[in-house]
Amino acid sequence: MKAQLKVGKGDGDLPSIPGVTAYVIPDDYKGSLPTVMADVSAAAEAAPAVVAVKAPVVNPPKEDSIVSGVTVIGVVIGLLLVPI
C-alpha cells in the first residue's frame, strides 16, 4: 500500500503512487510462492559470502579513586536538597 499526503501548497510527487504518478518499477504478480522463493534462494547462494569481523574488545580504564564526578554531583544535589 502506498499513499501520498500533501499539506498546504506542497508540490512534488513521490514515485509509484497509484493514481498519482507513474510506476518506477512495475509490480509483478506472475510468480507463485515456490517460484519466488526458489529465485530468492538461488540469488542468496550466488551472492558472495560475507564474513563478519569482530572489533577487538577494549576495556575501559578503571577508576581507583573514591571521589568521581558522579559522587561530587550526588553530594552537591544532596546538600542542596537537605533544607527542603
User: How many CB atoms sit inside 10 A of residue 16's CB?
Assistant: 15
Q: What is the C-alpha to C-alpha distance for residues 51 and 55, in angstroms, rounded to an integer?
A: 13
Under DSSP, the state recorded for 9 is T
Query: 17-66: per-residue pLDDT in tens?
Result: 777 677 776 777 777 888 878 887 887 777 677 777 887 877 777 767 77
Q: Output the pLDDT for position 63.
A: 66
pTM assigned to the model: 0.26
